[in-house]
């Protein structure tokens, strides 16, 4: 990793925002898992719990990246959890949230490519592809429920 990439404030900003959003996603999915379990939707609760674990793994990777750059991880603010009256409304909330993550990672990839930070570009690209997959899965789930 070159020195300029290590200290680039824009890259550090992307990492900080990503950590805040990923930890917010953990909180969101964990809460939704408990909520739908209360509704008796056992499989859906497990799906949300699995999503929370995936988002925690993303947060862990981001923390590792920040430490490698010599920066203390600091998620500045967790988003308030949004809930809805039914499963479909929860999935739509999640789809909007995941789309926001996709945009953040897309912007980070574009920036790192322009600055010629290949390691950072690769790091953000992997997260981008995983979040794009989440959006596809949520879209399919929503379409399935919407009939």
Measured distance CA(17)–CA(32) in Å, rounded: 22
Closest to 18 in 3D by CA, of 69, 58, 64: 58
Q: What Cα–Cα distance (Å) separates residue 9 from each residue in 14, 54, 122?
A: 9, 27, 18
Measured distance CA(69)–CA(77) in Å, rounded: 21
pLDDT of residue 75: 75
Structural domain total, the chain: 1
* Segment 57-115, tens digit of pLDDT: 999 999 999 999 999 998 778 999 999 999 999 999 999 999 999 999 999 999 999 99
pLDDT of residue 57: 98
Q: With beta carbons less than 8 A apart as the criterion, state whether 1 and 68 touch.
A: yes
47: CATH: 1.20.1260.10
pLDDT of residue 95: 97
The boundaries of the domain holding residue 73 are 3-146
């Amino acid at each position: 990793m070159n020195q300029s990439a290590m200290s680039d404030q824009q890259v550090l900003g992307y990492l900080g925002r990503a950590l805040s959003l990923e930890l917010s996603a953990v909180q969101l999915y964990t809460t939704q898992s408990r909520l739908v379990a209360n509704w008796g939707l056992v499989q859906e609760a497990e799906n949300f719990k699995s999503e929370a674990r995936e988002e925690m793994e993303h947060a862990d990777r981001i923390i590792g990246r920040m430490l490698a750059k010599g920066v203390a991880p600091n998620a500045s603010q967790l988003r308030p959890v949004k809930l809805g009256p039914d499963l479909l409304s929860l999935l739509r909330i999640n789809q909007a949230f995941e789309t926001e993550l996709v945009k953040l990672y897309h912007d980070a990839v574009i920036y790192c490519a322009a600055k010629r930070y290949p390691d950072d570009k690769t790091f953000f690209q992997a997260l981008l592809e995983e979040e794009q997959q989440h959006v596809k899965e949520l879209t399919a789930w929503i379409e399935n429920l919407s009939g």
